[in-house]
Amino acid sequence: MRRRRSIIALCCAAVFAIAQPAAAQRAAIDPQAWTLYKARFLDANGRILDNGNSGISHSEGQGYGLLLAYLANNPADFEQIWYFTRTELLLRDDGLAVWKWDPEVTPHVTDTNNASDGDLLIAYALALAGSAWNNKDYLQTAAAMAKSLLSHVVIDTGGRTLLIPGVEGYQAPGRKDGPIINPSYWVYEAIPVMALLAPSGRWQKLKDDGLSLLRSMQFGPRKLPADWVSLRAKPAPADGFEPEFGYNSVRIPLYLARAGITDKSLLTRLQQGMTVEGDEPATIDLASGKLKDRLPDPGYRIVNDVVACVVDGTKLPASVRQFAPTLYYPATLQLLSLAFVTEKHPECL
């Protein structure tokens, strides 16, 4: 027991050092903005509601909710979200979370597969909060999830280390064009923390190979990655999915920026490829390069503005600094963006 406590203490100190938790300084999210977010998307049971997707909850949303509560420096809200997450989603034998919880069906969980980005976000948020607030239970669960991620969804194939989207359904032989990846599932800022929780050189290779793939995936005239990519041979849009730069991929530039990855050519290519008029992002049909859905919500537009801040020092326009949430996903991206700029690039405010 004494040895376990010392290991947790060392892990806590290491996570604290690499993450520079907001709680040690000040909240990175404005209290009023966090109150607005909670009022619309957080219910009394600790469930984050995806109101753009029939009011379901998922591991991604719970992970985002935990991360935002941490960035808002609100332990009580964090614990409320964590209670629902651990009691309703952490049902698998491998320590990972089921991906979907539907209030309209009984039982609420009908698909027990996981989503690796949700697992990454949950473990990452637990590690940050556990370190900042000296909560050993959070750290212990984060470490267990990191080990499980490494064992079950971080795979080595074809000379690459990859993050598959879930334990089931993304590899051969069941999936003939497998392995399948989703480039937006690489939460780059979380990977160094996972390496502290479950030490292995595979984490660094996962980060490096993810970036290498992202640089190489330049599909269609706009040279963008697809949401779902087959790596059976040369990277290509995966069968059975829309060949698009879609809602998943819109967050990739934000993930890069938040992780301190300032590759100007990569960020600029993504920004220009996803922009249709002015600075308005859109989902894109990869084959034709034509827009599919415009994304005028400030939560989407701010992703381009974060790139402009990182690349050129451009200030964020007032329209994206104002937080008036409508839909879960863009509201989440907006708060993550504002928190990042507040912490790392206050000159852009």
Which is nearest to 250 in space by CA: 176, 337, 177, 173? 337
**Any idea which residue has 């990859």 for tokens?**
162
Mention every residue, 6+ apart, whose C-beta is less than 8 A from residue 15. 127, 128, 130, 131, 139, 193, 196, 197
Pairing of strands 236-237, 244-245: unpaired
Residue 198 and residue 191 in contact, taking contact as beta carbons nearer than 8 Å: no
The structure tokens listed for 181 are 């990846």
Say how many C-beta atoms besides its own lie within 10 A of residue 265's C-beta: 9
Q: Which amino acid is at 347?
A: E
* d(C-alpha 345, C-alpha 170), whole Å: 38
Q: Say if residue 5 is exposed, middle or buried (CB neighbours under 10 Å; 0-12, 13-18, 19+).
A: exposed
Q: Which of 77, 88, 117, 244 is catalytic?
A: 117
The yes-or-no answer on residue 297 being catalytic is no
The yes-or-no answer on residue 117 being catalytic is yes
Which secondary-structure segment (H or E) carries 284?
Answer: strand 280-285
* d(C-alpha 215, C-alpha 223), whole Å: 10
- Identify the DSSP state of 347: G
Q: Which of 50, 60, 119, 297 is catalytic?
A: 60
Which residues are identified as catalytic? 60, 117
